[in-house]
Structure 1
């Protein structure tokens, strides 16, 4: 009778193996003979097999952490070249942020983009890096050529800012491929809120906002006893107890609400991105930023008119006027937060089960099926 381990150990080894890569059930079929099982057990128990099993690393996708210093040097060089190539446009944009109060929020936009990247840092460093030479480098070279032609021939400053942001996206695609661009496209696109609009386009957007604020204010003032408001464009002539008030109220460009609209829409996009909500709720919250900003500006114009009529005209202009405009941002956030709370409490959706819960449910379902 051949020597070897007892039959119990043979049966155990032909059932399951708890050692190393063989730790999974083996089918108990006729092809696994006792002699085969004994030879497998002898191989597993040898020191050579244990050493081989310990030295072979698992196969994993190569992420950013495994690429070493050359990749970071490449990113630093490309980033430096990009800043050098667009340094004139960057300086003009920063100067506009400093000199124009309508775009003073531009300093905050890059900080929000960096925060978005920080939130996704784990996913970014775990992706498999596959640089895109054709689309990434090709589009980057094309954008640089278009930028050079624009600076020499067309000189459209707004296009230069847009080309800079697009070049950032092309650089990301070139360095990390489509997987990296998929995780970073929103922080890059968010930089568009920091680009000042052209003067003509800005005026075309502010005129309807001025007219809307003036119309609503005139309607509300006419509803107040002993007040009569006559609207002429964006100028409101007011009669109080039959006496005309001089000078007339004018909804200037600074009262159009464009500054509040741009800042609040940018913050609305940030909050919709950071909130863990269903996609449709994020979309509604994002769309609500425009009417909320317009409503807050109408309230501002109306309050300014009431202060001018019933209190003291000096408190309706200057620093007090600017302070009232600043207070509209917390009011807009209050409306936004109220809408978010309303949707959270009216539309309660079942949360998706975790992986542990799914495994437990599958096990219970399998066991119940076996009992049947």
Structure 2
């Protein structure tokens, strides 16, 4: 009569090859940050052409796309806010990250050498963003995605110039409303204005007139992206529930419209002093100045949204 020897417990790390490999691949935060720095240097070299073109567009069109220069810093700040959660556990590099990185490189190469239909700045931006995400997952592991997805998505959406073909479908309608609003507002101020489509013609007392093309003078409607970027950042930092954040982001559309009505009106008033003030560099400066009241309007909207519902102590409201 034989008896089998009692089975010994299997160590957790030997339960499966995948688990053992995952444990073996654990890296310290210091090693991960060193690897991340090396990857960042290689990333800049690889995608330098896209990054340089994006910077050039932001510098040459500051009133429309200057905000894209700040988006990487804001995304980095979002990552910094999550540093404690990121460092709470050892990093486990993921092979899936390499696959995502290869996908991003494929998209980028397709946009550079593929059919003309995909040779597009925004397609290159998508490829660069996917490659960046893949590199982050490969170094910091899949767990890091919980904390990195929002900064990454914020940079993808707001950190690059949106083509006229995509943006014009939205801005054309907003330009119409801006022209109507500016027409009403300037007539309220007693200014003799005639509107034909998107063209406002200001008639002066000496019998001369000056046309103000809202489709051109209000190219700042493209700052809709800047207003939305401000709204998303403020919602993420200053509001706690999903509906409050969504409401503030949606509020960016009427705020953008209202500020641009004021912007066109101010250009019309300045053209009375000097018609050249409604064009050129001065026109661009006016667009940047109006970002300040837009920010203040966002602060006011956030205060209203935050105080719409006040949780009583002990009611278990969202925090």
CA separation of 1:319 and 1:148: change in aligned 2, threshold 3 A:
closer
On the 8 A contact 1:238/1:244 being kept in 2, the answer is no
On the 8 A contact 1:264/1:293 being kept in 2, the answer is yes
Following the alignment from structure 1 to structure 2, what is the Cα–Cα distance between the partners of residues 273 and 158?
25
* RMSD (Å), alpha carbons: 3.0
CA separation of 1:156 and 1:339: change in aligned 2, threshold 3 A:
closer
On the 8 A contact 1:169/1:188 being kept in 2, the answer is yes
Out of 25, 37, 40, the position equivalent to 1:79 is 40
Higher relative contact order (CA 8 A, sep 6+): 2
On the 8 A contact 1:132/1:174 being kept in 2, the answer is yes
SS at match of 1:248: strand
- 1:168 matched to which residue of 2? 132
Following the alignment from structure 1 to structure 2, what is the Cα–Cα distance between the partners of residues 297 and 338?
18
- 1:25 matched to which residue of 2? none
Following the alignment from structure 1 to structure 2, what is the Cα–Cα distance between the partners of residues 79 and 317?
40
Following the alignment from structure 1 to structure 2, what is the Cα–Cα distance between the partners of residues 67 and 352?
41
Alignment of 1:248 onto 2:211: yes
Alignment of 1:131 onto 2:93: yes
Normalised TM-score (structure 2) = 0.78
Out of 218, 231, 234, the position equivalent to 2:198 is 234
- 1:296 matched to which residue of 2? 259
Q: Structure 2: where are the runs of 5+ without partners?
A: 1-22
After superposition, what is the alpha-carbon deviation per residue over 1:154-203, rounded to whole angstroms, capped at 9, x for unaligned?
33232111110111112222222222011011111111212111243344
Following the alignment from structure 1 to structure 2, what is the Cα–Cα distance between the partners of residues 110 and 70?
23
CA separation of 1:210 and 1:125: change in aligned 2, threshold 3 A:
same
* Superposition pairs of residues 1-372 of structure 1, within 5 angstroms: 67=28, 70-101=31-62, 102-133=64-95, 135-154=96-115, 155-192=119-156, 193-223=158-188, 228-239=192-203, 245-309=208-272, 311=273, 313=275, 316-318=278-280, 320-350=282-312
CA separation of 1:131 and 1:305: change in aligned 2, threshold 3 A:
same
CA separation of 1:331 and 1:273: change in aligned 2, threshold 3 A:
same
CA separation of 1:244 and 1:215: change in aligned 2, threshold 3 A:
farther
Following the alignment from structure 2 to structure 1, what is the Cα–Cα distance between the partners of residues 232 and 76?
15
After superposition, what is the alpha-carbon deviation per residue over 1:274-327, rounded to whole angstroms, capped at 9, x for unaligned?
114222212111111121011101011123323434x55455555554443233
Following the alignment from structure 1 to structure 2, what is the Cα–Cα distance between the partners of residues 271 and 294?
19
In the TM superposition, residue 114 of structure 1 has moved relative to its aligned partner by 1.2
After superposition, what is the alpha-carbon deviation per residue over 1:28-51, rounded to whole angstroms, capped at 9, x for unaligned?
xxxxxxxxxxxxxxxxxxxxxxxx
- 2:10 matched to which residue of 1? none
On the 8 A contact 1:257/1:293 being kept in 2, the answer is no
SS at match of 2:91: coil
